Amino acid sequence: MTRTIKTGYHHPRMLRHAGSFNPVRIQSMHYQSGRHIRLELTPGRTLYDALVEPLYKIGVTSASTTILGGYFDHLEYCVAPPDSSGKAVIAYSSPIDAGEAFMVFGNATFGKDMEGRPLVHCHATLRTETGQVKGGHIVPQASVIGPTPLSVLVTAIEGFELRQAFDEETNIPLLKPHRES
């Protein structure tokens, strides 16, 4: 639902989460100088494999990436409605099939999951096979790069790593910066 309002103040609403409040609201880390990489995503590979394999080969295990526009042979995405189970405030929907789609622009964070495996968290705007422009959480393992390589600007993270850990406040696993293990 959306509404357009000419003027006036409204009080932005907050949400009460399932777990205990963490007084640290911004968890940040920095390093001295950015290392940038231009990556081409290989046609026919999944978004996950096309991002992870070449970056691991050059020793990059945590990064922030900008995915420039390009075609996918197949693309799936999720939206984030309220969680009917009550375990968390929201939960991802089942994957939505966008078919043969064009990714207009995307951002993906690259880190490690709770088992230490590579994790890609990607949000993007896309045009579906039926011509609708949509947006959401991309399913990287189910989305296959189309016939033309997609360009990606990678900002590699060095000196610390992005690792998924269970977040007590929201009651779900989330990516956060950690000192390298």
Partner 1 sequence: MTADNPTRQAPSQVVTTETGRMGRVAYARIAPNEDLVQGIEKMCLAEGFENAFVRGGLGSLVDACLGTLDGGYQQVTGPAVEVVSMAGEVRSTESGTPVASLAGIVADTDGNVYGGPFLAGWNPVCMTFEVTLEEWLPDNPDTA
Nearer to partner 1, 43 or 109 (CB): 109
Nearer to partner 1, 14 or 115 (CB): 14
Q: From the CB of residue 176, how many other CB atoms can be counted at a distance below 10 Å?
A: 15
Rounded to whole angstroms, how far apart are CA atoms 114 and 104?
A: 30
User: Given the complex with partner 1, which of 129 and 167 has the nearer CB atom?
Assistant: 167
What's the first-to-final CA gap in the chain, in angstroms? Answer: 44
Query: If you count them, how many residues does the chain have?
Result: 181
- Both structure tokens of 104: 């207009």
CB of 133 to partner 1, least distance (A): 6
Query: Taking the complex as a whole, how short is the minimal distance between the CB of residue 116 and partner 1, in angstroms?
Result: 19
Find the shortest distance in angstroms from Cβ 113 to partner 1: 15
DSSP for 65-92 reads EEEPPEEEEEEEEE---B-TTSSSSB-P
- Tell the smallest beta-carbon distance from residue 142 to partner 1 (Å): 16
The residues of the shown chain that bind partner 1, judged by CB under 8 A, are 1-7, 10, 12-15, 17, 22, 24-34, 64-66, 77, 79-82, 88-90, 96, 104-109, 121-125, 133-137, 155, 157, 160, 162, 167, 169-170, 172, 174-177
Tokens of 18: 């399932």
Neighbouring-strand partners of residue 90 = 82
Cβ nearer to partner 1, comparing 150 with 162: 162
